[in-house]
Amino acid sequence: MADAPVVPTLGEVLVDELKRQAREEGYIVWTLNRYEAYLYVMYAVGILVGWTLARRP
């Protein structure tokens, strides 16, 4: 059985493009892996929910 072709996701394509542009322009390339990005998003959502609940009368 032949392996399925590897098709990059839109996110991966965008990250690769950003990395390429950053290399060309000499910026420091700093990317998050998906797990770290997920943690940061969940952290932000938690702060927002907590702040909203704390403001309720």
Higher-confidence position of 55 and 20: 55
Phi, psi of 49 (to 5 degrees): -65, -45
| CA atoms of 7 and 25, how far apart (whole Å) | 27
- What pLDDT shows up at residue 27? 59
Boundaries of every domain in the chain: 32-57
Instruction: Indicate whether 52 pLDDT > 80.
Output: yes
Q: Single out the residue of 48, 14, 50 nearest to residue 32, CA to CA.
A: 14
pLDDT tens-digit series, residues 23-45 = 776 655 555 566 777 888 999 99
| CA atoms of 20 and 3, how far apart (whole Å) | 28
- What pLDDT shows up at residue 47? 96
pLDDT tens-digit series, residues 7-23 = 878 888 888 887 787 77
- What pLDDT shows up at residue 53? 92
